[in-house]
């Protein structure tokens, strides 16, 4: 065991016009400490995940967490960033602080406010998570980058439009039961599969329903050393973590293999001493539906080129052999960059503690896998979670 999650908080994701980065940070930090039943003075270290890249004029944000309580003053506080995996980077840094003995209690916060930014600027900001010398002029921004990946996958393995629509429909159906989700609507397969005025093509074969939305939101959790956590009212252990960073340019690797994703999963599963089939569910990084499709293969659920089997045969539905994204994923829940990875850990901890919202709870959930990705499978983070029984 590396560390335990003993408290958490989560705002709704979406267009939160009345909020600021500061107000979101303060809210979830305050609520997570209260949920854990500890005082701010007990915290040894603070880690903030905040991508920013131009979304917020305030670009020095670690100390904003201190606004939640005067007792946080003078605590070590660090902001971390690793593109769309920023939230998991923050969680893993907190885990390392505890594993090293430098801290017993770490407050981890993830936040992003994106919807105040004009659309063209949103695209430019997100494109900064690509390799600009190669992809900086891609039409459609980051959606265009994943559109190129989808086209390449289709060229190699055949048209997968049916599978992508099924993934989108699954995640939107799951998102209906998630009170934090930005889009709580079951669009159905036919709507996701068909081009329409409300579901136009965005980039390559990707339609609007294949792309996660622009979002505001925050999430926080309290990490504690495993021994101390045994005395808490409930705890979820982070049994193992894995992180693999790959080359930034897609030209230096086979982009259809998501090799960094595979390595991160292999490392985490090996550390945990379990296999993929032991997991009760997975929260994975579906920034675009084609990403979830390739992740099925990269995590070892199917052989390469056969990811469509997992969705078409129902394996990844909530009642399947490995439910994937019971929260609705980024597709339905939303994707406020710095908050996403923390959100994945919070919602997985809720599942394992038996505290997930009604309709979202996976029955008898005993082991969770989380995959959070930055860029085009560049920053790859996996966590394996289990409840303290």
The DSSP call for residue 217 is: E
| 389: confidence class by pLDDT, cuts 50, 70, 90 | confident
Residue 353 lies in a domain: no
From CA 100, how far away is CA 259, in angstroms rounded?
A: 29
The model's pTM is 0.98
Residue 102 lies in a domain: yes
pLDDT digits (tens, 9 = 90+) for 261-273: 999 999 999 999 9
Residue 221 lies in a domain: yes
Q: Is the pLDDT of residue 2 over 90?
A: no
The bridge status of strand 105-113 relative to strand 45-49 is: parallel
Residue 9 lies in a domain: yes
Looking up tokens 């997100």, which residue turns up?
126
What is the pLDDT, as a whole number, of residue 135?
96
What is the pLDDT, as a whole number, of residue 349?
98
Report the interhelical angle of 289-298 vs 141-157 (nearest 10°). Answer: 50
pLDDT digits (tens, 9 = 90+) for 65-104: 999 999 999 999 999 999 999 999 999 999 999 999 999 9
The DSSP call for residue 243 is: E
Residue 74 lies in a domain: yes
Q: Is the pLDDT of residue 242 over 80?
A: yes
Using a pLDDT cut of 90, give the percent of the chain over it.
Answer: 98
Residue 268 lies in a domain: no
Range of the domain at 57: 3-117+215-229
Q: In this structure, how many other beta carbons lie within 10 angstroms of the beta carbon of residue 92? A: 27
Residue 8 lies in a domain: yes
Sign of CA dihedral 99, 102, 107, 113: negative
Cα dist. 44→27, 28, 108, 163, 169 in Å? 19, 18, 11, 46, 43
Q: Across the strands, what pairs with 153? A: none
**If you average pLDDT over residues 11-15, what whole number do you get?**
98
- Residue 248 phi/psi, 5-degree rounding, is -75, -45
Instruction: Tell how far CA 93 is from the center of its chain.
Output: 16
Sign of CA dihedral 115, 284, 53, 5: positive
DSSP 247-265: -SSGGGS-TTT-HHHHHHH
Helix, strand or coil, per DSSP, at residue 386: strand
Looking up tokens 């897609």, which residue turns up?
250
Q: Is the pLDDT of residue 281 over 80?
A: yes
Looking up tokens 């930034």, which residue turns up?
248
User: Which of 5, 2, 239 is CA-nearest to residue 106?
Assistant: 5
Q: Say which CATH number the domain at 55 has.
A: 3.40.47.10
Residue 310 lies in a domain: no
Tell me how many domains the chain contains: 1
């Amino acid at each position: 065991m590396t560390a335990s999650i003993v408290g958490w908080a989560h705002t709704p994701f979406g267009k939160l016009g009345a909020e600021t980065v500061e107000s979101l940070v303060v809210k979830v930090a305050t609520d997570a400490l209260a949920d854990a039943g500890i005082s701010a003075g007990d915290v040894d270290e603070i880690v903030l995940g905040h991508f920013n890249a131009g979304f917020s004029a305030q670009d020095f944000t670690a100390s904003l967490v201190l606004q939640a309580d005067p007792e946080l003053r003078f605590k070590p506080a660090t902001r971390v960033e690793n593109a769309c995996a920023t939230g998991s980077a923050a969680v893993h840094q907190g885990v390392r602080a505890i594993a090293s003995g430098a801290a017993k209690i770490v407050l981890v916060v993830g936040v992003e406010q994106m919807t105040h930014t004009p659309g063209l600027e949103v695209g430019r900001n997100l494109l900064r998570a690509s390799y600009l010398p190669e992809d900086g002029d891609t039409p459609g921004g980051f959606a265009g980058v994943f559109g190129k990946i989808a086209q390449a996958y289709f060229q190699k393995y055949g048209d997968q439009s049916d599978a992508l629509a099924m993934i989108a429909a699954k995640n939107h159906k799951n998102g209906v039961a998630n009170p934090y989700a930005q889009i709580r609507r079951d669009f159905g397969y036919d709507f996701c599969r068909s081009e329409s005025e409300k579901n136009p093509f965005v980039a390559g074969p990707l339609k609007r329903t294949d792309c996660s939305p622009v979002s505001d939101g925050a999430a926080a959790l309290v990490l504690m050393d495993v021994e101390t956590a045994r005395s808490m009212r409930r705890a979820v252990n982070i049994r193992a973590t894995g992180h693999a960073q790959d080359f930034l340019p897609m030209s230096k690797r086979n982009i259809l293999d998501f090799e960094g994703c595979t390595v991160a999963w292999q490392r985490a599963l090996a550390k945990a001493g379990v296999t993929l089939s032991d997991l009760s569910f997975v929260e994975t990084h579906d920034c675009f539906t084609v990403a979830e499709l390739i992740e099925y293969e990269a995590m070892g659920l199917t052989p390469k080129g056969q990811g469509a089997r997992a969705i078409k045969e129902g394996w990844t539905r909530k009642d399947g052999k490995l439910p994937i994204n019971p929260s609705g994923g980024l597709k339905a829940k939303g994707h406020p960059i710095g908050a996403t990875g923390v959100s994945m850990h919070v919602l997985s901890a809720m599942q394992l503690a038996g505290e997930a919202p009604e309709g979202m709870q996976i029955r008898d959930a005993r082991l969770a896998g989380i995959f959070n990705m930055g860029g085009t499978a560049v920053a790859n983070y996996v966590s394996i979670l289990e409840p303290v029984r």
